[in-house]
Structure 1
Amino acid sequence: MPKSIFSAATILIGTVIGAGIFGVPYALSKIGYIPGVLYLIIIGVINLLVFLCYGEVVERSKDDHQMTGHAERYLGSKGKSAMAFTMIFGSLGALLVYLIGIGDFTYTLLGESIGGSPFLYSSLFFIVASLVILAGLGMIVWFERVMVVVLMLIVILFLIFGLPHISIDNLLYTDFSNLFLPYGVLLFAFGGVSAIPEMYRFLSKKNGGLKKSIYIGTIIPLVLYIVFALAIVGVSGRETTSEAVEGLSRFLGGGIVALGAILGIFTMGTSFLTLGHIAKQLLMKDYKLNKILAWVLVCFIPYIIYLLGLTNFIEVIGIVGSVTGGLYGILVLLMYRKARRENVGKPKLTIKLPTFVHYLLLFVFVLGIVYEIIFLFQK
């Protein structure tokens, strides 16, 4: 396999793997590991199809557009507005997820020794991170890729240390009373469609290979999630905590839990800074907001929502995953259909998506959004 194909795949892997990995074990534990893995594979395949459809759109377009540019080209100004809303909502939602996760992980790491609370640690991080974002941030892509490699090594360590403590009973039980709970969490965990244009630009200088890169970039996170969930759910079973690692302390000791907490802090911290910077730039360029107003909106909206009480890690991931993942899926499928109908360009990557599959995916995405909104207002 050419090195360029794997290098392009790491762009997708680095975008997909983030805070979502820590929610996967809890989501699977709520319905049982075996049905959870099947659920995970189905969501993985759905996202793979979306990635491939968008890959074809990008190759047909052969331009330097991002998602909003492609949406405008194929769906008009309303499509561009819908995509911009999706990107902004998704960014703010993800920032809230990182804010919650960092507070939880820091408390897990330092709570027993120096006290404090998740709220205190989230607030301290917010102050520091928001000032960094205001100053401007030239985060280097390779740093996030290094974090992905470190994350893979930590997952392997969890499996090695957890293997002697895995109980078969923890892997065989089933509970279908929470059947919809994993949907948004797993959709969030596979979020990465925005990486496709960058992959195309990279590979356009290397004689192509986008399709193979998308397959590799989707399969590796899927395998990693399955293994990570095996290590966590196999040990803690129904007692799996929402951010995965805290509940392992009485099974594996504080050392491995501290390692997981440190990893979580760095993973979410770098993602918060990078995404915050990107969201600020989006508001400044697409909506012509000045630097200060864009910074205030990007940093303070997630924190205000946090102050209002939306602090449940899994709940927020579920909402953001269902709504944002659903909207991305719908818009990509509509762009794909329009590009195919117009027969634009001559792409190397083509995917013949049957009409019934196209509408089935649209139905799933719409149903997920509607269900999540109804669930939110019923609380």
Structure 2
Amino acid sequence: MMRFLLSVATLVGTIVGVGMFGLPAVTAEAGWLSIALITLIVLPVVALTHLAYAHVVVLTSSRARLPGYAGLWLGRSAKRVAFASQALGLVGSSLAYLVVGGSFLTQFISSVLPIPLWGGVAIFFLAGAILVWRGVKSIARAELVMVGIMLCAIVVLGIAALPSWQSANLAAISFTGTPWRAYGVLIFSLWGMSVIPEVAEVSSRRNLGEVVAGGVICSFLASALFVLIALGVSDGAISADALGSLSMHLGKGVRLFGFGFGVLATFTSYLTLTRVTVDMLRYDFHIGTVASFISATVIPLILLLMGFNDFITVLAITGAVSLGLEGILVMMIEERAVRERPQLKIFHMPSFVRNAVILLLCIGISLELLATIGVL
């Protein structure tokens, strides 16, 4: 049971992060109908791609990350594409966590001891770097505690927001912009594929399916609850990170609690994704441990210092394009692995399901790119 909880905690801790804070804003922009249709597409696509990646881990005897699996099963060109896609996704994710997590930590600490924004970012960065250096098992155990606190925090915020919560605010949500950013942010908010090999470390391979399903479903429910809380309290104005506008309707103590919750939600994901980047550089590209650690931690910080701080745009592009490419590659890898090692497979995915997932991800990438250049 403990191994199962550690596995689910690692996955939920990766998924429930900064993407959740972007969902209320893009939901208000896209409207309920659009977000419902997008969710009906995204939720099964995410679950199936994560399950396929877990299958790849089971079918492959050697330890690797997505680029390594792509190279092993699909060839060198696929390995390059996988590395570029996952590297961009991991760096973009870590950047978003630094931006929002550092901001939340600054506001949390400033209630007691005023500090500048860079101070909060520095503390967030250094604390994460120390835990990443200690390794995945310390991260998993930290997340088991943090995820429990984090889920309880959502409930507490909901209870505190009840006096200001109005169903009329939800009913007032309508289509006001474009749904394409919502697609990318929703993909991002539910994606935890990069940590599947870590999940395999602390779980039994025979219940990887249950771990993946439980992690994705728990993460979706937590995010959906947060969206309902944030939009129900807002009176038509929602900040990009949602927590900023939500805190305006709460007392000082609850505001402090809310920013603490925000720090936990972003910090758990930052820990795991940074560790995944380190392992990808070590195992797939045979870079030394110290060099991998420095690259994984410092590059997002440099990008932040260069002024890349529009986190909603980062979420949308990273989710639709980078993570979409990851999903396509995983489905292709899983098909090849099952074909070559059928005696080791633990479940059967019909070809039409696999092809449908690939098609939907291709459409999502195309629409996001067209929206980014202003065609849509």
Report the TM-score, using the length of structure 2 for normalisation: 0.85
CA 1:277–1:52 in 2, change beyond 3 Å: closer, same or farther? closer
Q: Which amino acid aligns with 2:52?
A: C
Matched residue type, 1:91: L
> What is the Cα deviation at residue 244 of structure 1?
1.8
Q: Give 1:226-375 correspondences, 5 Å limit.
A: 226-290=224-288, 293-342=291-340, 344-354=342-352, 357-375=353-371
Q: Residues 255-302 of structure 1: CA distance to partner in whole angstroms, max 9, x if unpaired?
A: 222212112224433543443344234334433445564455333322
Partners of 2:23 and 2:356 in 1: CA distance? 24
Q: Which residue of 2 aligns with 1:68?
A: 67
Secondary structure of 1:209's match? Answer: helix
For 1:15 and 1:3, the matched residues in 2 are separated by 18
Q: CA deviation at 1:100?
A: 0.4
**CA distance in structure 2 between the partners assigned to 1:210 and 1:131 by the alignment:** 28
The code of the aligned residue for 2:365 comes to I
Q: What fraction of aligned residue pairs are identical, expressed as a percent?
A: 27
In structure 2, C-alpha distance between the alignment counterparts of 1:116 and 1:369, rounded to whole Å:
40
C-alpha distance in 2, partners of 1:202/1:281? Answer: 16
SS at match of 1:177: coil
Shift of 1:65: 4.3
In the TM superposition, residue 115 of structure 1 has moved relative to its aligned partner by 5.4
What amino acid is the match of 1:336?
E
Query: In 1, distance between residues paired with 2:104 and 2:217?
Result: 27
Contact 2:180 2:368 in 1 (8 A): no
Q: Corresponding residue for 2:78?
A: 79
**Distance in 1 between residues matched to 2:213 and 2:85, nearest whole Å:** 24
Deviation at 1:193, TM superposition (A): 1.7
2:246 and 2:54 map into 1 onto residues whose CA distance is 40
C-alpha spacing 1:273/1:62, structure 2 compared with 1 (3 Å):
closer
Unaligned runs of 5+ in 1: none
Q: Distance in 2 between matches of 1:58 and 1:285?
A: 14
Matches within 5 A, 1:1-379: 8-33=7-32, 35-61=34-60, 64-110=63-109, 117-119=116-118, 121-123=120-122, 125-126=124-125, 128-129=126-127, 132=130, 136-138=133-135, 139-172=138-171, 173-175=173-175, 177-200=177-200, 202-204=202-204, 208-290=206-288, 293-342=291-340, 344-354=342-352, 357-376=353-372
Amino acid at match of 1:189: S
How many angstroms apart in 2 are the aligned matches of 1:58 and 1:278?
15
Say if 1:164 and 1:36 are closer, same or farther in 2 by CA, change over 3 A: farther
CA contact 2:14–2:192 (8 Å) conserved in 1: yes
Give the C-alpha shift of residue 149 in structure 1.
0.8
State which drifts further: 170-179 or 278-287. 278-287
Letter in 1 for 2:90: S
CA change 1:125–1:284 in 2 (3 A) is same
> Counterpart amino acid of 1:229?
V
- CA distance, structure 2, for counterparts of residue 228 and residue 335 of structure 1: 35
Amino acid of the structure 1 residue aligned with 2:134: L
The amino acid of 1:268's aligned partner reads T
| Unaligned segments of structure 2, at least 5 residues | none
Rounded to whole Å, the distance in 2 between the matches of 1:150 and 1:36 is: 28
Distance 1:252 1:28, change over 3 A: same
Specify whether residues 241 and 221 from structure 1 end up closer, same or farther in structure 2 by C-alpha distance, changes over 3 A only.
same
Maintained 8 Å contact 1:30/1:238: no
Cα 1:30–1:254 shift into 2, 3 Å: farther
> How far off its partner does 1:86 sit?
2.6
Does the residue aligned with 1:239 lie in a helix, a strand or coil? Answer: coil
SS in 2 for 1:251: coil
Tell me the TM-score normalized by structure 1: 0.84
How much is the aligned-residue C-alpha RMSD, in angstroms?
3.1
- Structure 1 residue 89, shift from structure 2 partner: 1.9
Query: How many residues of Structure 1 are paired with residues of Structure 2 in the alignment?
Result: 372
Determine if contact 1:108/1:246 at 8 Å carries over to the other structure. Answer: no
Q: Deviations over 1:200-253 (max 9, x none)?
A: 455547xx2332332222211111111111111111153222222111233222
